[in-house]
Each structure stands twice: as structure tokens, then as C-alpha cells.
Copies of this chain bind each other. A is one copy, B any other.
Amino acid sequence: MSLYPESLTNLIEQFQKLPTIGKKSAERLAMSIVDKDSKSVEDFSNALKEVKDKIHPCKICGNLTEDDICNICKDVSRDETTICVIEDVRNLIAIEKSSVYHGRYHILGGLISPSDNVKAEDLSIDKLLERIDKEGIKEIILAISSTIEGETTSLFLAHLLENKDVRVSKIASGIPVGSNLEYFDQLTLERALEDRREI
């Protein structure tokens, strides 16, 4: 016999499907739903459906939006000649939170990964090339993680972009600000030394 009534067991299972939510957390979250008033639960329930109904990728850059074109692509105050190429929306949010970049974005929707069977054709690369020509882009910044898949994708893109009349750069590898050198691997130290800058 289950400890919980059927509908509660079902809700616990639903919570467990979310990332980082284990059985204990799922039980606690589901019990908190029982304690809420009907209106709050209905709001939550509707918010879930609404996100799925309304949110889709921006036709230009792939960012999440409720319209055809996202707020960043619509924003005329941003630099229209620079595109920052990133893996996914999470990376866009991280960069936007830092408020240091004021150009456009292009979301690849993944990274080249032979082990996961993700090929270059599966990424939004053709669209990027098209944008460079059509939008008169002058600079491309590759802001892609320094994982094996990330480096492979960056190299592939750098090679592709050689024929285009754009400046191509990639974000610096090195020691994070506030971190102690001793905790970082040899490759990171090597990169940090190579990319050293005069002060």
C-alpha cells in the first residue's frame, strides 16, 4: 500500500522528473502544494501550461520569446554588427546578467559531439552564415565552453568563418577572478599564461 493517495504519489513523481529534485525534495514540494490554497495551485498549474504554449525560439537568433522576434533582436539600441555565438539560452542569460555585452546573439542549439551523435548539420550554423551576409556583421565572438565538444565546435566555426569578411574572436580561457591558482589544472594554467596581457 502506498503511503500517499494516488494523486499525491503522481505529483511526487512529476516533481522527481525535474532536474536536481530527488525523492525527499519531491515529497516536500508535493506536500507544500497540498497546503496551498486552490487559487495559488491553479496559478502555478496555468503558469506551466502557459510557458509551453507561448514560448518558442526567436526566428533570428534562437533566444526564447513569446513573439516572432526576441527582445534582444528587436532592441535597436544594441550593436547590430556584432554576434556572440553561444550554445544555448542558459549561456545567453549568463552573459546578459553580467551586462558587459551589448550586441546580438546567435544560439547554436548544441555543440558538435560525435559521442552523442550531434553533427554540425544539427546546429544552427547555416543560419549564422546567412545572418553574417544579410545583416552586415563585422565581428563574431565565440562564447563557447572550453569542453572537448566546445573546442571542437569553436574550431569548426573558426575554420568556416575564415572565408567571411568578419573579425572572429573567442572568449579568454584562464583562472576565474577570485580563485586560487593552485586549484586549476595544467591546461587552464597553460592557457592563462599564453593569453597573458600587459598591465
Contacts and interface: CB of A to CB of B under 8 A. Distances in A.
B54 A49 contact: no
Copies of this protein in the complex = 2
Interface residues of A, number: 53
A21 B18 CA distance: 12
Interface string A44-78: 11111111111100000000111000110001000
A160 B189 CA distance: 72
Contacts of A25: 20
Interface string A1-44: 10111111011001001111100010111111110101011111
Interface stretch (A89-97, A137-145, A165-173): A89-97
Contacts of A41: 48-49, 51-52
B19 A50 contact: no
Given A1-B71, A19-B28, A10 B97 contact: no
Interface string A91-111: 001001100000000000000
Nearest to A96: B3
Contact of A36 (B10, B42, B43, B52): B52
A72 to B, nearest CB: 9
Given A3-B97, A29-B18, A96-B3, A48 B55 contact: no
Contact of A55 (B5, B19, B28, B65): B5
Given A5-B64, A31-B89, A34-B51, 17 more contacts: A3-B93, A5-B65, A5-B70, A5-B71, A6-B66, A7-B51, A7-B66, A8-B55, A10-B50, A17-B44, A19-B28, A21-B29, A31-B90, A33-B48, A33-B51, A42-B49, A45-B49
